Amino acid sequence: MAIELNAIEIRVLGVLIEKAMAVPQSYPMTLNSITAACNQKNNRHPVLTLPEGDIAAAVHTLQQWQLVTIAPPEPGSRSNKFRHEVEKRFGWSTPQKAIMAELMIRGPQTIGELRTNASRMTRLEATDYVREVLAELERMDPPMVRELARQPGQSATRFAQLLGGPVADNVPSHAGYVSTTTPTHAAPSAPSPSRLDELEAEVAALKADVASLREKLRAAGLLP
Protein backbone atom coordinates (compact mmCIF):
# COMPACT_ATOMS: atom_id res chain seq x y z
CA MET A 1 0.00 0.00 0.00
CA ALA A 2 1.36 3.40 -0.98
CA ILE A 3 2.16 5.78 1.85
CA GLU A 4 0.29 9.08 1.87
CA LEU A 5 1.19 11.50 4.64
CA ASN A 6 -0.45 14.74 5.66
CA ALA A 7 1.43 18.03 5.74
CA ILE A 8 2.41 17.91 9.41
CA GLU A 9 3.67 14.34 9.13
CA ILE A 10 5.76 15.36 6.11
CA ARG A 11 7.24 18.30 8.05
CA VAL A 12 8.09 16.04 11.03
CA LEU A 13 9.75 13.38 8.87
CA GLY A 14 11.69 15.99 6.94
CA VAL A 15 12.91 17.58 10.16
CA LEU A 16 14.13 14.24 11.55
CA ILE A 17 16.10 13.55 8.37
CA GLU A 18 17.49 17.09 8.27
CA LYS A 19 18.69 17.12 11.89
CA ALA A 20 20.20 13.64 11.61
CA MET A 21 22.34 14.84 8.71
CA ALA A 22 22.98 18.52 9.43
CA VAL A 23 23.08 18.54 13.26
CA PRO A 24 23.84 14.95 14.29
CA GLN A 25 24.65 15.97 17.87
CA SER A 26 20.98 16.91 18.34
CA TYR A 27 19.72 13.54 17.04
CA PRO A 28 17.70 11.45 17.90
CA MET A 29 15.12 14.02 19.00
CA THR A 30 12.63 14.47 21.81
CA LEU A 31 9.06 15.51 21.09
CA ASN A 32 9.90 19.00 22.34
CA SER A 33 12.93 19.34 20.05
CA ILE A 34 10.96 18.06 17.05
CA THR A 35 8.29 20.69 17.72
CA ALA A 36 10.89 23.46 17.92
CA ALA A 37 12.55 22.28 14.70
CA CYS A 38 9.23 22.09 12.83
CA ASN A 39 8.47 25.68 13.87
CA GLN A 40 11.90 27.23 13.33
CA LYS A 41 12.05 30.26 11.04
CA ASN A 42 15.10 29.43 8.96
CA ASN A 43 15.16 26.74 6.25
CA ARG A 44 11.37 26.36 6.39
CA HIS A 45 8.63 27.29 3.94
CA PRO A 46 6.17 28.20 5.11
CA VAL A 47 7.08 29.11 8.69
CA LEU A 48 4.52 27.43 10.93
CA THR A 49 3.48 27.50 14.58
CA LEU A 50 2.39 23.95 15.27
CA PRO A 51 1.37 22.90 18.81
CA GLU A 52 3.15 19.96 20.41
CA GLY A 53 -0.08 17.97 20.37
CA ASP A 54 -0.18 18.06 16.56
CA ILE A 55 3.47 16.98 16.42
CA ALA A 56 2.79 14.10 18.84
CA ALA A 57 -0.10 12.90 16.68
CA ALA A 58 2.11 13.07 13.57
CA VAL A 59 4.89 11.10 15.27
CA HIS A 60 2.35 8.45 16.28
CA THR A 61 1.14 8.07 12.70
CA LEU A 62 4.71 7.91 11.37
CA GLN A 63 5.40 5.12 13.86
CA GLN A 64 2.44 3.20 12.46
CA TRP A 65 3.92 3.61 8.96
CA GLN A 66 7.26 2.32 10.37
CA LEU A 67 8.90 5.57 9.31
CA VAL A 68 9.77 6.61 12.87
CA THR A 69 10.81 4.58 15.90
CA ILE A 70 11.73 5.29 19.51
CA ALA A 71 15.51 5.36 19.91
CA PRO A 72 17.16 3.16 22.58
CA PRO A 73 17.04 4.99 25.94
CA GLU A 74 20.09 6.96 27.01
CA PRO A 75 21.45 6.71 30.56
CA GLY A 76 19.63 9.19 32.80
CA SER A 77 17.20 10.28 30.09
CA ARG A 78 13.55 10.59 31.13
CA SER A 79 12.14 11.51 27.73
CA ASN A 80 11.64 9.34 24.68
CA LYS A 81 13.73 10.25 21.67
CA PHE A 82 12.68 9.50 18.11
CA ARG A 83 14.56 8.65 14.93
CA HIS A 84 13.53 8.16 11.31
CA GLU A 85 13.75 4.85 9.47
CA VAL A 86 13.71 5.96 5.83
CA GLU A 87 16.76 3.88 4.94
CA LYS A 88 14.99 0.70 6.05
CA ARG A 89 11.58 1.75 4.69
CA PHE A 90 12.63 3.22 1.32
CA GLY A 91 16.32 2.39 0.85
CA TRP A 92 17.22 6.05 0.26
CA SER A 93 20.89 6.91 -0.19
CA THR A 94 22.49 9.88 1.58
CA PRO A 95 21.95 12.29 -1.38
CA GLN A 96 18.38 11.04 -1.78
CA LYS A 97 17.68 11.66 1.91
CA ALA A 98 19.05 15.20 1.71
CA ILE A 99 17.00 16.11 -1.35
CA MET A 100 13.80 14.54 -0.01
CA ALA A 101 14.26 16.33 3.31
CA GLU A 102 14.57 19.67 1.51
CA LEU A 103 11.45 19.03 -0.52
CA MET A 104 9.59 18.07 2.66
CA ILE A 105 10.54 21.12 4.70
CA ARG A 106 10.54 23.77 1.93
CA GLY A 107 8.21 22.50 -0.78
CA PRO A 108 8.85 22.32 -4.57
CA GLN A 109 12.24 23.63 -5.71
CA THR A 110 14.40 23.87 -8.80
CA ILE A 111 17.54 21.77 -9.26
CA GLY A 112 19.71 24.78 -8.46
CA GLU A 113 17.76 25.52 -5.28
CA LEU A 114 17.99 21.91 -4.20
CA ARG A 115 21.73 21.79 -4.74
CA THR A 116 22.23 24.94 -2.68
CA ASN A 117 19.83 24.05 0.12
CA ALA A 118 20.61 20.35 0.48
CA SER A 119 24.38 20.91 0.45
CA ARG A 120 24.27 21.74 4.16
CA MET A 121 23.36 18.08 4.75
CA THR A 122 25.66 16.36 2.24
CA ARG A 123 28.06 17.27 -0.54
CA LEU A 124 26.36 17.64 -3.93
CA GLU A 125 28.99 18.05 -6.61
CA ALA A 126 26.99 19.70 -9.40
CA THR A 127 23.50 20.35 -10.68
CA ASP A 128 23.87 17.43 -13.11
CA TYR A 129 24.44 15.14 -10.15
CA VAL A 130 21.34 16.50 -8.40
CA ARG A 131 19.34 15.76 -11.55
CA GLU A 132 20.63 12.17 -11.51
CA VAL A 133 19.52 11.77 -7.88
CA LEU A 134 16.10 13.18 -8.73
CA ALA A 135 15.83 10.74 -11.64
CA GLU A 136 16.54 7.86 -9.24
CA LEU A 137 13.73 9.09 -6.98
CA GLU A 138 11.40 9.43 -9.99
CA ARG A 139 12.06 5.82 -11.02
CA MET A 140 11.22 4.32 -7.63
CA ASP A 141 8.03 2.31 -7.22
CA PRO A 142 6.05 4.22 -6.22
CA PRO A 143 7.80 7.40 -7.44
CA MET A 144 9.03 9.70 -4.70
CA VAL A 145 9.30 12.94 -6.72
CA ARG A 146 7.79 14.48 -9.84
CA GLU A 147 9.00 17.21 -12.16
CA LEU A 148 6.38 19.94 -12.42
CA ALA A 149 5.55 21.76 -15.64
CA ARG A 150 7.49 24.98 -16.19
CA GLN A 151 5.55 27.97 -14.94
CA PRO A 152 4.97 31.04 -17.17
CA GLY A 153 7.93 33.39 -16.99
CA GLN A 154 10.16 30.81 -15.28
CA SER A 155 13.32 29.42 -16.89
CA ALA A 156 13.63 26.31 -14.71
CA THR A 157 11.22 23.58 -13.68
CA ARG A 158 10.61 22.59 -10.08
CA PHE A 159 10.43 19.18 -8.43
CA ALA A 160 7.98 18.12 -5.72
CA GLN A 161 7.97 15.17 -3.33
CA LEU A 162 5.03 12.76 -3.53
CA LEU A 163 4.74 11.43 0.02
CA GLY A 164 1.58 13.51 0.39
CA GLY A 165 0.01 12.13 -2.78
CA PRO A 166 -0.30 13.55 -6.32
CA VAL A 167 0.86 17.15 -6.86
CA ALA A 168 -0.57 19.59 -9.41
CA ASP A 169 1.75 21.35 -11.86
CA ASN A 170 0.73 24.80 -10.60
CA VAL A 171 1.19 23.95 -6.94
CA PRO A 172 2.78 26.85 -4.99
CA SER A 173 5.96 26.12 -3.05
CA HIS A 174 4.06 25.92 0.24
CA ALA A 175 1.08 23.90 -1.01
CA GLY A 176 -0.03 20.98 1.09
CA TYR A 177 0.77 22.65 4.37
CA VAL A 178 -2.03 23.57 6.70
CA SER A 179 -2.42 26.30 9.28
CA THR A 180 -2.79 25.39 12.93
CA THR A 181 -6.44 26.44 12.73
CA THR A 182 -7.25 24.02 9.91
CA PRO A 183 -8.06 20.39 10.91
CA THR A 184 -5.29 18.12 9.66
CA HIS A 185 -7.56 15.90 7.59
CA ALA A 186 -9.87 18.60 6.24
CA ALA A 187 -9.55 20.03 2.73
CA PRO A 188 -8.26 23.63 3.07
CA SER A 189 -10.99 24.94 0.74
CA ALA A 190 -13.87 23.25 2.56
CA PRO A 191 -16.17 25.68 4.40
CA SER A 192 -16.51 23.31 7.37
CA PRO A 193 -15.18 19.82 8.23
CA SER A 194 -17.36 16.77 7.82
CA ARG A 195 -18.30 14.62 10.78
CA LEU A 196 -15.59 12.13 9.77
CA ASP A 197 -13.00 14.90 9.75
CA GLU A 198 -14.15 16.02 13.20
CA LEU A 199 -13.85 12.49 14.58
CA GLU A 200 -10.37 12.09 13.06
CA ALA A 201 -9.29 15.38 14.59
CA GLU A 202 -10.66 14.34 17.98
CA VAL A 203 -8.83 11.01 17.82
CA ALA A 204 -5.58 12.80 16.89
CA ALA A 205 -6.04 15.19 19.82
CA LEU A 206 -6.68 12.29 22.22
CA LYS A 207 -3.57 10.51 21.00
CA ALA A 208 -1.57 13.69 21.53
CA ASP A 209 -2.96 14.08 25.06
CA VAL A 210 -1.99 10.51 25.90
CA ALA A 211 1.52 11.01 24.50
CA SER A 212 1.91 14.23 26.49
CA LEU A 213 0.68 12.54 29.68
CA ARG A 214 3.16 9.70 29.19
CA GLU A 215 5.99 12.21 28.80
CA LYS A 216 4.97 13.90 32.08
CA LEU A 217 4.71 10.58 33.91
CA ARG A 218 8.15 9.56 32.66
CA ALA A 219 9.59 12.91 33.74
CA ALA A 220 8.08 12.32 37.21
CA GLY A 221 9.64 8.86 37.35
CA LEU A 222 6.24 7.12 37.35
CA LEU A 223 6.84 5.33 34.06
CA PRO A 224 9.99 3.64 32.76
Backbone angles phi, psi at 161, to 5 degrees: -80, 155
pLDDT 10s digits, 197-214: 455 556 666 676 677 667
Residues 6 or more apart whose Cβ sits within 8 Å of residue 118: 95, 98, 99, 101, 102, 124, 130
DSSP summary character for residue 41: S
pLDDT 10s digits, 67-104: 999 999 888 778 999 999 999 999 999 999 999 999 99
Between CA 177 and CA 138, with CA 41 as vertex, the angle to 5 degrees is: 45
Domain positions in the chain are: 7-184+192-219
CATH topology of domain 7-184+192-219: Arc Repressor Mutant, subunit A (1.10.10)
Predicted TM-score of the model (pTM): 0.77
pLDDT at 114: 98
Contact 87, 17 (CB under 8 A): no
